[in-house]
Amino acid sequence: MKELRLMKGNEAIAEAAIRAGADAYFGYPITPQSEILEYLMAEKPEERTGMVVLQAESEIAAINMVYGAASTGKRVLTSSSSPGISLKQEGISYIAGAELPCLIINVVRGGPGLGTIQPSQADYFQATKGGGHGDYHLLVLAPASVQEMSDFVKLGFDLAFKYRNPVLILSDGAIGQMMEKVELFEQQERLKYFDPSWTLTGKTSGRSRNIITSLELDPARQEKHNLRLQAKYRQMEEVEVRYEQIDCDDADFIIVAFGSSARISQKAVRIAREKGLKAGLFRPITLFPFPKSEISSLADRVKGMLSVEMNAGQMVEDVRLAVNGKIPVEYYGRFGGMIPTPDEVVEALEQKLVTV
Amino acid sequence: METKDIIKPENLVYTKTSLMTDNILSYCPGCGHGTIHRIIMEVIDEMGIQSEVIGIAPVGCSVLAYDFMDIDMAQAAHGRAPALATGMKRCWPDKFVFTYQGDGDLAAIGTAETIHTCNRGENITIIYINNGIYGMTGGQMAPTTIPGMRSSTSPYGRDVITMGYPLKITDLVACLPGTYYVSRQAVHKPGAVRKAKKAVRMAFENQKLKKGVSFVEFVSSCNSGWKMTPVDANKWMEENMFPYYPLGDIKLDGELIKTQSKKTADHD
């Protein structure tokens, strides 16, 4: 039987974490995502499933608790918002280097610096290009609804373990705070099997010791390690690209947008069509791997693309790389916590692409 | 007499624990790390808990500790080992988890993690190596460098007015309700090694009690960083480090030991 609830995006993430069979959550309060930790504490997941929830002394400690817990093979997650995610970058780089599975949630707010607590997508570069030091990628999922906040927790854990790589859910303050109907998935069991080839469970006589490290002092071996990581990212690009297309089949112009911007742009497409403008929406769901070839194919049959973002124009660079000069690619966005209206998007589409 | 005539089972009075690997130690001659590694591995061996132990290596000279210890280990970012330990122990409450950290790691960059892990009373063991200097990076001033002590970043000696005071973090964590056993040891002489091993054994046994952190500091020499011979370094350590960092138990069974300075006068 379907279990439907009206929930905030942040609450949906927390409930989904329990249901996904997470073993532990480590976090530190920061607006606009504190409901995740609050919900988890109130739910007593220790009693529901045995899941550990701990409020750390800092985001740095929280991500390193995740590092420690993930190295034991457990299903673990943390969440924060932009300034806190910046603090976590050191740990994320280590986790990526040590190839551990975990889930990180960024409910993005406007920056730079302390910025604002209002919604933003200004952390696109940080999320998709690495974020911390060294050559690495997170697998990045961008939910556009409270339903996806829940679904992507489960999907995120699956992908994290499939690739032994941290997965980031790049949300924003709007999706985190808004309430929508959400269909919750059924309770999953917590992990019982811990892969003896890499998890730290104590060295038994049947196997050699397991070491979780991102250190390799020999540059030739470090390069080899990097090449293996890169091969993993290429494989993600081959098989994990996810996207949604709305009204793209007969479209002359495509709006490319993710997350909250995609919700706004969906309305903009409807307004544009009412005006007789054949617009469509292409919504990348995975921001890394980015749907490059799909956007490139679309560019073969439309007149132009508009990247709509709640930042100063970040994803537009990836759209342009994918389009590779075949058609004009423009950007429209608001930032610093401001949210574009559908009418503004339509106006930008007309001014930047249609009337040119 | 040939070597093969000497090496016979009946002549064997001591052997390296199999928990120390055969890899050649990367430490300088005279350094305490090798002995402290061995003590920990002997304790784990004697307790028979190899299959239940997870260790955490820091950033510093002992970053490659996992090359020498035949146990499951993770390597932490600089200062973050207690946070890793927290994550591990919360996930495996019945396993033995320990961190192995230097003074720069534990008492400078990782101060917050150290204090809060101790204050939460995580049931882990923290092994803390204090040699008063950043060894691996080439002898820079550490949070524990004693007043007047020279280092590459305090070439005229540590001036406490401008550079601040050395941090006695072990005494500090002993005051927190989350620590159950806090001790300061050394491995410069056989007698000290024997005492130190007892302290490490207690620090691991305590994890079964689930009463909080067991914290063992080792005052250790860094003859390379101090630019002394191993013998001179040990002498200098006894004369200058021990008065500042007196050896002995500081907190036992959750109770602070009041007469700490008297008690520690008897180190060998």
**Contact residues, chain B, for A60 at CB < 8 Å:** 80, 83, 112-113
Asked if A174 and A262 sit in the same domain, the reply is no
**Contact residues, chain A, for B83 at CB < 8 Å:** 56, 60-62, 64-65, 67-68
**Contact residues, chain A, for B50 at CB < 8 Å:** 202-203
- Range of the structural domain that residue A13 is part of: 3-200+230-235
**Which of the listed residues A185, A208, A235 is the one where a domain comes to its end?**
A235
Chain B residues 106-165 with a CB less than 8 Å from chain A:
112-113, 116
Q: What is the CATH number of the domain that holds A308?
A: 3.40.50.920
Between B123 and A205, the more confident residue is B123
Distance CA B93, CA B86 (A): 10
Query: Touching check for A210 and chain B: CB below 8 Å?
Result: yes
Instruction: Answer whether A68 sits within 8 Å of B70, measured CB to CB.
Output: no
Measured CA angle at B89 (ends B85, B90), to 5 deg: 115
Phi, psi for residue B165 in degrees, rounded to 5: -95, 150
Reported as a single tens digit per residue, the pLDDT across A209-268 is: 999 999 999 999 999 999 999 999 999 999 999 999 999 999 999 999 999 999 999 999
Q: What is the largest CA-CA distance in chain B?
A: 62
Asked if A192 and A301 sit in the same domain, the reply is no
Task: Assess whether pLDDT exceeds 90 at residue A48.
Answer: yes
- Option in B53, B64, B77 nearest A94 (CB): B77
Q: Give me the DSSP letters along A83-150.
A: HHHHHHHHHHHHHHHTT--EEEEEEEB--STT--SSB--TTHHHHHS-SSSSS---EEE---SHHHHH
Asked if A126 and A7 sit in the same domain, the reply is yes
Instruction: Answer whether B72 sits within 8 Å of A203, measured CB to CB.
Output: yes
ipTM: 0.96
Asked if A86 and A18 sit in the same domain, the reply is yes
pLDDT at residue B265, as a whole number: 44
Distance CA A316, CA A332 (A): 9
Number of domains into which chain A is organized: 2
- Please report whether residue A249 resides in a domain: yes
**Contact residues, chain A, for B90 at CB < 8 Å:** 24, 52, 54, 65, 69
pLDDT at residue B4, as a whole number: 81
Closest chain A C-alpha to B40 CA, distance in angstroms:
15
Asked if A28 and A114 sit in the same domain, the reply is yes
Query: Touching check for B87 and chain A: CB below 8 Å?
Result: yes
Chain A residues 293-322 with a CB less than 8 Å from chain B:
none
Using CB atoms within 10 A of its CB, is residue A183 exposed (0-12), middle (13-18) or buried (19+)? exposed
For B130: left if phi > 0, alpha if psi spans -120 to 50, otherwise beta; the answer is: beta
CATH of domain B28-266: 3.40.50.970
Instruction: Answer whether B88 sits within 8 Å of A71, measured CB to CB.
Output: yes
Instruction: Answer whether B84 sits within 8 Å of A68, measured CB to CB.
Output: yes
Q: What angle in degrees, to the nearest 10, is found between the helix axes of B81-91 and A59-71?
A: 50
A210-236 burial code (b ≥16 CB/10 A, e <16) = bbbbbbeeeeeeeeebbeebeebbeeb
- Please report whether residue A97 resides in a domain: yes
Asked if A65 and A193 sit in the same domain, the reply is yes
Reported as a single tens digit per residue, the pLDDT across B158-188 is: 999 999 999 999 999 999 999 999 999 999 9
C-alpha torsion B183→B187→B192→B197, nearest 10: 60
Asked if A145 and A277 sit in the same domain, the reply is no
Query: Touching check for A194 and chain B: CB below 8 Å?
Result: no
Q: What angle in degrees, to the nearest 10, is found between the helix axes of A59-71 and B111-120?
A: 70
Mean pLDDT calculated for residue range A60-88: 98
Reported as a single tens digit per residue, the pLDDT across A317-345 is: 999 999 999 999 999 999 999 999 999 99
pLDDT at residue A326, as a whole number: 98
Q: Amino acid identity, residue A248?
A: C
Joined tokens for residue A30: 């920061």
Interface probe for A, chosen from B66, B80, B99 (most Cβ of A below 10 Å), is B80
Closest chain B C-alpha to A51 CA, distance in angstroms:
9
Task: With beta carbons less than 8 A apart as the criterion, state whether A71 and A200 touch.
Answer: yes
Binned at pLDDT 50, 70 and 90, residue A20 comes out as very high
- Please report whether residue A346 resides in a domain: yes
Asked if A49 and A143 sit in the same domain, the reply is yes
- Please report whether residue A296 resides in a domain: yes
Joined tokens for residue B229: 């011979």
Asked if A195 and A300 sit in the same domain, the reply is no
Listed as ranges, residues in chain B with pLDDT below 70 are 259-268
- Residue % of chain A over a pLDDT of 90: 98
Measured CA angle at A212 (ends A209, A217), to 5 deg: 100
**Contact residues, chain A, for B56 at CB < 8 Å:** 68
Q: What is the CATH number of the domain that holds A183?
A: 3.40.50.970
pLDDT at residue A303, as a whole number: 97
Joined tokens for residue A104: 């990180």
Task: With beta carbons less than 8 A apart as the criterion, state whether A37 and A176 touch.
Answer: no
Task: With beta carbons less than 8 A apart as the criterion, state whether A25 and A78 touch.
Answer: yes
Among all residues of chain B, which has the CA nearest to that of A196?
Answer: B72
Looking at every residue in chain A, the average pLDDT score rounds to 97
- Block residue for tokens 């200004």: A122
Distance CA A98, CA A100 (A): 6
Q: Which residues pair with A254 in a beta bridge?
A: A280, A305
Asked if A250 and A179 sit in the same domain, the reply is no
**Contact residues, chain A, for B73 at CB < 8 Å:** 200, 209-212
Distance CA B143, CA B132 (A): 7
Reported as a single tens digit per residue, the pLDDT across A101-121 is: 999 999 999 999 999 999 999
Q: Which residues pair with A329 in a beta bridge?
A: A305
Task: With beta carbons less than 8 A apart as the criterion, state whether B96 and A236 touch.
Answer: no
pLDDT at residue A356, as a whole number: 67
Q: Is A316 helix (H, G, I), strand (E, B) or coil?
A: helix
Among all residues of chain A, which has the CA nearest to that of B20?
Answer: A209
Q: Give me the DSSP letters along A243-293.
A: EEEES-TT-SEEEE--HHHHHHHHHHHHHHHHTT--EEEEEESEEES--HH
Asked if A18 and A159 sit in the same domain, the reply is yes
Mean pLDDT calculated for residue range A190-207: 96
pLDDT at residue A49, as a whole number: 98
Domain boundaries, chain B: 28-266
pLDDT at residue B261, as a whole number: 52
Distance CA B194, CA B187 (A): 8
